[in-house]
Amino acid sequence: MLIPEKLNTIIRILLANTLSNKPDLTAPELAKEAKLTSGMAKRLLIRLEKSGYLTIKRNIKLINPLKLMKAWGYTYSLREIEHSEFISAERPQYIILKIANWARKEKVSYAFTLFSATEHISPYVAPSTTHVYILKSDLEIWQKFFRSEKILPAEKEGNVVCLLVNDDYFKNIEDIRGANIVSLPQLYADLMSFGGRGEEAAQELSRIIDKRLKNV
């Protein structure tokens, strides 16, 4: 990561919390949610405060959430996340539907990102590859499901990419049209990190997020 993973976690929680119109967190509450020591959380918060992104009083208050999100987008690196790739003969839209239906039935954590997510929010680029966050500890369960659907491990590049993460990435996910989508700030950072058409889609998404923030 271009910035420490612990700082990514702090930013992810604060942005998603604000966008969801939840009460501002205290530093101890944030430390608990981020699974950090109070000292580590405080040091990271002070770093963000000195950069002008937030204030720390009784609660943590973001000064300009959109500005923080855009700065995060330039420092986040999706490509460094461990992943497993698979290949399927079916179109991404069918794969997305199968994953959503199966995961809901089995109560397995997941969240789509990149163009698999924007397809449900504001279609900008038709997905050619399905990108989905899953818990690293659930990989074997997913492999079994994929085998049953003839979605096979890819020798090189696959069109189904499972990003292996911890449960931090599933905070404030959104259910849109029956599919779990990663939180919008995380999606923005992912699209920016992806580059190319991803950056263009990120700018479109930022306008959607800005409108939502104005209603918070």
Mean pLDDT of the chain: 92
> Percentages helix, strand, coil for the chain, rounded to the nearest 5?
55, 15, 30
How many whole angstroms from its chain centre is CA 3? Answer: 16
Mean pLDDT for 158-171 is: 93
Beta strands in 9-64 (DSSP E): 54-56, 60-62
Taking only the tens place, the pLDDT of each residue in 24-42 is 999 999 999 999 999 999 9
Contact 179, 113 (CB under 8 A): no
CA–CA distance, 25 with 27 (Å, rounded to integer): 6
Looking at the predicted structure, is the pLDDT value of residue 129 above 80? Answer: yes
86: enclosing H helix or E strand: strand 83-87
Two tokens at 172? 């404030």
Q: What percent of the chain has pLDDT over 70?
A: 99
Looking at the predicted structure, is the pLDDT value of residue 1 above 50? Answer: no
Helix (H, G, I), strand (E, B) or coil at 73: helix
Looking at the predicted structure, is the pLDDT value of residue 124 above 80? Answer: no
Question: CA 94 → CA 62, 90, 162, 206, distances in Å?
Answer: 39, 6, 16, 27
What are the structural domain ranges in the chain? 5-75, 79-182
Topology at the third CATH level for domain 5-75: Arc Repressor Mutant, subunit A (1.10.10)
Same topology between domain 5-75 and domain 79-182: no
Domain range 79-182, CATH class: alpha beta
pLDDT of residue 216: 67
- How are beta strands 152-153 and 54-56 bridged, if at all? unpaired
Looking at the predicted structure, is the pLDDT value of residue 204 above 70? Answer: yes
Length of the chain: 216
CA–CA distance, 17 with 37 (Å, rounded to integer): 20
Report the b/e string of 46-83 with b at 16+ CB within 10 A.
eebeeeebbeeeeebebeebbebbbbbbeebebeebeb
Question: CA 170 → CA 13, 19, 110, 112, 187, distances in Å?
Answer: 10, 15, 7, 10, 12
pLDDT of residue 2: 66
Residues forming a β-bridge with 55: 61
Burial of 105 (0-12, 13-18, 19+ CB in 10 A): exposed
Looking at the predicted structure, is the pLDDT value of residue 150 above 90? Answer: yes
Looking at the predicted structure, is the pLDDT value of residue 97 above 90? Answer: yes
Mean pLDDT for 145-162 is: 94
Looking at the predicted structure, is the pLDDT value of residue 184 above 80? Answer: yes
Mean pLDDT for 4-29 is: 91
